[in-house]
């Protein structure tokens, strides 16, 4: 049977998309498979092969070990290839999955590396300053970025959660607001937002009405994509959110990512003595997920992980 490796990889990625995998997940699988393609070009006869022998499997394992220092990086690329070969197996192209013979080291959990609370406050101050110093659409964009900050440090949301939020995902409650998080394969859940979110979100609603509702733009997403002159579309891709953090890193001259800000939120909840079961629910993870690494870091050096909610300047 004649078949094309790149075409089969494209079909595999399309299936993941239909299954509801996130943009970032599909992007990572594509990069992992591209690593395998690079190995074939370097070691084999181009991108055409009819079998993948045990010797070749071991050679690819050695290739990965030399190319990546992190065992987790190696593990991820092996897992992506294993799933791809499962797909080839289902297509009757291979009689068995050769990657299942490939031994990899166990997963190593990374030590949390959150932003310090001083850094969190510094970022918050900068974002508030940007909103006050600008007007019109530029102010709206800066306010959007401030709301992104609140939803990560205030509610622990992931980038994939932020990308899919609707305006109606922000719910009014007795004490302020909650954010509703919905996933295709689990029940929706909501997270209380801190008091510091309230006034900023009311301002955001006001500008949303001005720039989106009054202009009759067909947008119901909480966030939007814009250039300096107009709003281009509803929603903000993971790449768009990363551009926001790249901008922060340039101005503040410190490393900050959505992940490090989210980890700061987890330490904040631990400092506030929130039950672990509640933290796991807010993070959208399984009850079996362990917070032990965070607890260990907090116990080793409590003074380094002192976090609390940002005070509401309008309170």
Domains defined for the chain, CATH in brackets: 5-101 (1.10.150.130), 117-305 (1.10.443.10)
CA 126 to chain centre: 23
pLDDT tens-place values along the chain, 315 residues long: 567 888 889 999 999 888 877 787 888 899 999 998 888 888 765 545 666 777 777 788 888 888 876 777 788 888 888 898 888 888 888 888 878 767 655 554 568 999 999 999 999 999 999 999 999 999 999 999 999 999 999 999 999 889 889 999 999 988 899 999 987 767 889 999 999 999 999 999 999 999 998 888 889 999 999 998 999 999 898 888 989 999 999 998 889 999 999 999 999 999 999 999 999 999 988 888 889 999 999 999 999 999 999 987 654
**H or E segment and range at residue 192:** strand 186-192
Angle at 168 between CA 163 and CA 171, to 5 degrees: 110
Report the C-alpha gap between 129 and 15 in whole angstroms. Answer: 45
From the list 79, 250, 282, 56, the residue with the least C-alpha distance to 178 is: 282
pTM higher than the cut 0.85: no
Residue pair 224/163 in contact (Cβ under 8 Å)? The answer is no
Residue pair 277/269 in contact (Cβ under 8 Å)? The answer is no
- Structure tokens, 40: 């074939």
Residue pair 99/33 in contact (Cβ under 8 Å)? The answer is no
Distances (CA, A) of 68 to 22, 36, 246: 25, 13, 24
Residue pair 113/125 in contact (Cβ under 8 Å)? The answer is no
Report the C-alpha gap between 275 and 282 in whole angstroms. Answer: 11
Angle at 149 between CA 211 and CA 178, to 5 degrees: 80
Report the C-alpha gap between 50 and 308 in whole angstroms. Answer: 58
DSSP 106: P
């Amino acid at each position: 049977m004649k078949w094309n490796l790149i075409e089969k990889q494209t079909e595999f990625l399309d299936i993941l998309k239909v299954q509801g995998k996130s943009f970032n997940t599909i992007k990572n699988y594509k990069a992992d498979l591209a690593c395998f393609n690079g190995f074939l070009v370097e070691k084999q006869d181009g991108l055409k092969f009819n079998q993948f022998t045990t010797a070749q499997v071991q050679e690819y394992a050695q290739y990965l070990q030399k190319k990546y220092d992190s065992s987790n990086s190696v593990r991820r690329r092996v897992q992506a290839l294993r799933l791809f070969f499962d797909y080839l197996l289902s297509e009757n192209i291979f009689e068995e999955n050769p990657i299942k013979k490939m031994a990899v080291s166990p997963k190593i959990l990374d030590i949390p590396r959150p932003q310090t609370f001083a850094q969190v406050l510094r970022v918050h101050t900068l974002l508030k300053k940007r909103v006050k110093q600008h007007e019109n659409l530029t102010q709206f964009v800066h306010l959007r970025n401030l709301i992104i900050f609140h939803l990560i440090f205030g509610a622990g949301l992931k980038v994939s959660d932020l990308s899919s939020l609707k305006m109606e995902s922000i719910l009014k409650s007795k004490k302020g607001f909650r954010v509703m998080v919905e996933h295709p394969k689990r029940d929706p859940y909501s997270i209380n937002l801190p008091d510091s979110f309230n006034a900023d979100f009311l301002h955001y609603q006001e500008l949303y009405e001005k720039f989106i509702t009054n202009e009759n733009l067909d947008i119901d997403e909480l966030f939007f994509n814009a250039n300096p002159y107009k709003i281009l579309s509803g929603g903000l891709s993971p790449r768009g959110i990363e551009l926001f953090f790249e901008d922060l890193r340039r101005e503040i001259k410190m490393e900050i990512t959505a992940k490090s800000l989210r980890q700061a939120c987890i330490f904040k909840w631990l400092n506030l003595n929130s039950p672990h079961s509640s933290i796991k629910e807010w993070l959208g993870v399984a009850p079996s997920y362990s917070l032990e690494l965070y607890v260990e870091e907090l116990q080793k050096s409590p003074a380094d992980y002192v976090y609390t909610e940002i005070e509401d300047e309008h309170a």
